[in-house]
Structure 1
Protein backbone atom coordinates (compact mmCIF):
# COMPACT_ATOMS: atom_id res chain seq x y z
CA UNK A 1 0.00 0.00 0.00
CA UNK A 2 1.30 3.43 -0.84
CA UNK A 3 1.04 5.54 2.34
CA UNK A 4 0.38 8.84 0.49
CA UNK A 5 -2.56 7.30 -1.35
CA UNK A 6 -3.95 5.90 1.89
CA UNK A 7 -4.00 9.39 3.40
CA UNK A 8 -5.96 10.68 0.41
CA UNK A 9 -8.53 7.90 0.18
CA UNK A 10 -10.26 5.23 2.17
CA UNK A 11 -8.34 2.15 1.11
CA UNK A 12 -9.23 -1.40 2.17
CA UNK A 13 -6.11 -3.11 3.49
CA UNK A 14 -5.55 -6.52 5.06
CA UNK A 15 -5.29 -6.40 8.85
CA UNK A 16 -1.62 -7.38 8.83
CA UNK A 17 -0.60 -4.42 6.62
CA UNK A 18 -0.06 -0.88 7.74
CA UNK A 19 2.48 1.90 8.08
CA UNK A 20 5.80 0.69 9.42
CA UNK A 21 5.04 -2.98 8.80
CA UNK A 22 7.11 -4.82 6.21
CA UNK A 23 5.27 -6.44 3.33
CA UNK A 24 5.45 -10.22 3.22
CA UNK A 25 4.55 -12.38 0.22
CA UNK A 26 1.34 -14.33 0.56
CA UNK A 27 -0.74 -11.62 2.20
CA UNK A 28 -4.15 -11.77 0.52
CA UNK A 29 -5.13 -8.58 -1.33
CA UNK A 30 -8.51 -6.92 -0.85
CA UNK A 31 -11.35 -8.73 -2.60
CA UNK A 32 -11.87 -7.82 -6.25
CA UNK A 33 -14.85 -5.75 -7.26
CA UNK A 34 -17.45 -7.67 -9.25
CA UNK A 35 -17.76 -5.63 -12.48
CA UNK A 36 -21.38 -6.80 -12.95
CA UNK A 37 -22.58 -5.31 -9.67
CA UNK A 38 -23.73 -1.68 -9.66
CA UNK A 39 -21.34 0.33 -7.56
CA UNK A 40 -20.46 3.89 -6.75
CA UNK A 41 -16.87 2.89 -6.01
CA UNK A 42 -14.16 4.41 -8.16
CA UNK A 43 -10.96 2.43 -8.25
CA UNK A 44 -7.57 3.80 -9.24
CA UNK A 45 -4.41 1.70 -9.48
CA UNK A 46 -0.69 2.42 -9.42
CA UNK A 47 2.07 0.09 -10.55
CA UNK A 48 5.80 0.75 -10.61
CA UNK A 49 9.01 -1.07 -11.23
CA UNK A 50 12.44 0.42 -10.75
CA UNK A 51 14.50 -0.85 -13.69
CA UNK A 52 14.01 -1.01 -17.43
CA UNK A 53 14.63 -4.77 -17.30
CA UNK A 54 11.63 -5.37 -15.04
CA UNK A 55 8.15 -5.83 -16.47
CA UNK A 56 4.93 -4.22 -15.32
CA UNK A 57 2.64 -6.76 -16.98
CA UNK A 58 2.02 -8.93 -13.91
CA UNK A 59 1.22 -5.88 -11.78
CA UNK A 60 -1.12 -4.46 -14.44
CA UNK A 61 -2.87 -7.83 -14.77
CA UNK A 62 -3.30 -8.09 -10.99
CA UNK A 63 -4.83 -4.62 -10.79
CA UNK A 64 -7.14 -5.40 -13.72
CA UNK A 65 -8.31 -8.59 -11.98
CA UNK A 66 -9.40 -6.43 -9.06
CA UNK A 67 -11.81 -4.52 -11.25
CA UNK A 68 -9.65 -1.55 -12.15
CA UNK A 69 -10.02 -0.41 -15.74
CA UNK A 70 -6.74 0.00 -17.63
CA UNK A 71 -7.43 3.70 -18.18
CA UNK A 72 -7.51 4.14 -14.38
CA UNK A 73 -4.16 2.38 -13.81
CA UNK A 74 -1.14 4.64 -13.65
CA UNK A 75 2.19 2.92 -14.20
CA UNK A 76 5.81 3.84 -14.62
CA UNK A 77 9.31 2.45 -14.71
CA UNK A 78 11.26 4.74 -12.44
CA UNK A 79 14.04 4.26 -9.90
CA UNK A 80 13.30 4.27 -6.19
CA UNK A 81 15.96 6.99 -5.93
CA UNK A 82 13.89 9.40 -8.01
CA UNK A 83 11.79 11.53 -5.69
CA UNK A 84 9.34 12.89 -8.27
CA UNK A 85 7.19 10.18 -9.85
CA UNK A 86 4.98 11.75 -12.53
CA UNK A 87 2.46 8.89 -12.86
CA UNK A 88 2.11 8.59 -9.10
CA UNK A 89 1.41 12.32 -8.87
CA UNK A 90 -1.11 11.95 -11.71
CA UNK A 91 -2.86 9.16 -9.77
CA UNK A 92 -3.06 11.40 -6.70
CA UNK A 93 -4.47 14.28 -8.79
CA UNK A 94 -7.08 11.95 -10.28
CA UNK A 95 -8.08 10.69 -6.83
CA UNK A 96 -8.42 14.27 -5.56
CA UNK A 97 -10.54 15.23 -8.57
CA UNK A 98 -12.82 12.25 -8.02
CA UNK A 99 -13.29 13.17 -4.37
CA UNK A 100 -13.92 16.82 -5.25
CA UNK A 101 -16.53 16.05 -7.93
CA UNK A 102 -18.13 13.00 -6.36
CA UNK A 103 -17.68 13.18 -2.57
CA UNK A 104 -20.41 10.55 -2.09
CA UNK A 105 -18.36 7.93 -3.99
CA UNK A 106 -15.88 5.75 -2.23
CA UNK A 107 -12.54 5.59 -3.95
CA UNK A 108 -9.79 3.10 -3.33
CA UNK A 109 -6.31 2.72 -4.70
CA UNK A 110 -4.79 -0.71 -4.75
CA UNK A 111 -1.13 -0.50 -5.49
CA UNK A 112 1.43 -3.09 -6.34
CA UNK A 113 4.24 -1.09 -4.78
Structure 2
Protein backbone atom coordinates (compact mmCIF):
# COMPACT_ATOMS: atom_id res chain seq x y z
CA UNK A 1 0.00 0.00 0.00
CA UNK A 2 1.34 3.40 -0.96
CA UNK A 3 0.72 6.28 1.41
CA UNK A 4 0.33 9.81 0.11
CA UNK A 5 2.28 11.51 2.92
CA UNK A 6 1.50 15.02 1.70
CA UNK A 7 -2.25 14.30 1.81
CA UNK A 8 -1.91 12.64 5.23
CA UNK A 9 0.05 15.64 6.60
CA UNK A 10 -2.49 18.10 5.19
CA UNK A 11 -5.37 16.14 6.74
CA UNK A 12 -3.60 15.96 10.12
CA UNK A 13 -2.92 19.71 10.18
CA UNK A 14 -6.54 20.44 9.22
CA UNK A 15 -7.83 18.13 11.97
CA UNK A 16 -5.67 19.74 14.67
CA UNK A 17 -6.66 23.23 13.52
CA UNK A 18 -10.35 22.34 13.46
CA UNK A 19 -10.06 21.26 17.10
CA UNK A 20 -7.81 24.00 18.52
CA UNK A 21 -7.91 27.06 16.25
CA UNK A 22 -9.47 30.34 17.30
CA UNK A 23 -10.20 33.55 15.42
CA UNK A 24 -7.46 36.17 15.36
CA UNK A 25 -7.13 39.41 13.42
CA UNK A 26 -3.89 40.05 11.60
CA UNK A 27 -3.10 43.74 11.16
CA UNK A 28 -0.15 44.23 8.82
CA UNK A 29 2.11 47.20 9.51
CA UNK A 30 4.78 49.06 7.59
CA UNK A 31 7.02 51.61 9.31
CA UNK A 32 4.77 51.57 12.38
CA UNK A 33 1.54 52.32 10.47
CA UNK A 34 -1.09 50.13 8.79
CA UNK A 35 0.30 48.63 5.58
CA UNK A 36 -1.94 49.75 2.67
CA UNK A 37 -0.72 46.85 0.51
CA UNK A 38 -1.76 44.14 2.99
CA UNK A 39 -5.28 44.49 4.40
CA UNK A 40 -6.38 43.35 7.86
CA UNK A 41 -7.69 39.81 7.81
CA UNK A 42 -9.43 37.52 10.28
CA UNK A 43 -8.14 33.97 10.24
CA UNK A 44 -8.48 30.82 12.33
CA UNK A 45 -5.17 29.69 13.80
CA UNK A 46 -3.79 28.10 16.95
CA UNK A 47 -2.67 30.68 19.52
CA UNK A 48 -0.38 28.85 21.89
CA UNK A 49 1.65 29.67 24.95
CA UNK A 50 4.57 27.25 25.20
CA UNK A 51 5.51 25.04 28.07
CA UNK A 52 8.27 26.11 30.46
CA UNK A 53 10.95 24.65 28.17
CA UNK A 54 9.60 26.62 25.20
CA UNK A 55 8.23 23.65 23.25
CA UNK A 56 5.14 24.17 21.15
CA UNK A 57 3.30 20.92 20.66
CA UNK A 58 0.42 20.46 18.28
CA UNK A 59 -1.19 17.06 18.58
CA UNK A 60 1.40 14.51 19.65
CA UNK A 61 4.39 16.07 17.87
CA UNK A 62 6.61 18.95 18.84
CA UNK A 63 6.59 21.57 16.10
CA UNK A 64 9.28 23.99 17.23
CA UNK A 65 10.70 25.79 20.23
CA UNK A 66 10.53 29.49 21.04
CA UNK A 67 11.51 31.57 24.03
CA UNK A 68 9.48 30.56 27.05
CA UNK A 69 8.05 34.07 27.49
CA UNK A 70 6.62 34.27 23.96
CA UNK A 71 3.37 33.12 22.45
CA UNK A 72 3.11 31.50 19.06
CA UNK A 73 0.50 31.53 16.35
CA UNK A 74 0.39 28.37 14.24
CA UNK A 75 -1.22 29.00 10.85
CA UNK A 76 -2.38 26.28 8.45
CA UNK A 77 -0.63 27.24 5.20
CA UNK A 78 -3.10 25.24 3.12
CA UNK A 79 -5.99 27.29 4.50
CA UNK A 80 -4.17 30.60 3.91
CA UNK A 81 -1.69 30.03 1.05
CA UNK A 82 -1.40 33.72 0.13
CA UNK A 83 -0.97 35.04 3.66
CA UNK A 84 2.03 37.35 4.06
CA UNK A 85 3.07 38.10 7.65
CA UNK A 86 6.11 40.11 8.69
CA UNK A 87 7.80 41.06 11.93
CA UNK A 88 6.09 44.02 13.64
CA UNK A 89 2.63 43.03 12.31
CA UNK A 90 -0.06 42.91 15.00
CA UNK A 91 -2.22 39.96 16.04
CA UNK A 92 -5.40 40.48 18.08
CA UNK A 93 -6.89 37.41 19.79
CA UNK A 94 -10.51 38.33 19.08
CA UNK A 95 -11.90 35.12 20.59
CA UNK A 96 -10.25 35.66 23.99
CA UNK A 97 -11.49 37.71 26.90
CA UNK A 98 -10.07 41.21 26.67
CA UNK A 99 -8.96 40.59 23.05
CA UNK A 100 -5.22 40.73 23.84
CA UNK A 101 -2.93 42.30 21.26
CA UNK A 102 0.42 40.79 20.27
CA UNK A 103 3.23 41.84 17.97
CA UNK A 104 4.90 39.43 15.58
CA UNK A 105 8.57 39.21 16.50
CA UNK A 106 9.60 36.39 14.17
CA UNK A 107 8.10 34.44 11.27
CA UNK A 108 9.20 30.88 10.56
CA UNK A 109 8.20 29.40 7.22
CA UNK A 110 10.54 26.43 7.60
CA UNK A 111 7.82 23.99 8.61
CA UNK A 112 5.99 21.98 6.03
CA UNK A 113 2.31 22.84 6.11
CA UNK A 114 2.33 25.46 8.87
CA UNK A 115 3.57 28.98 9.38
CA UNK A 116 4.82 29.71 12.92
CA UNK A 117 4.64 33.29 14.18
CA UNK A 118 6.50 34.10 17.37
CA UNK A 119 4.52 36.74 19.27
CA UNK A 120 5.45 39.18 21.99
CA UNK A 121 3.31 41.55 24.00
CA UNK A 122 2.27 44.65 22.11
TM-score for the superposition, normalised by structure 2: 0.22
Greater share of residues in strand: 2
**Quick check: which one's helix share is greater?**
1
TM-score normalised according to structure 1 size: 0.23
> Which fold has the larger relative contact order, with Cα–Cα distance below 8 Å and residues 6 or more apart in sequence?
1
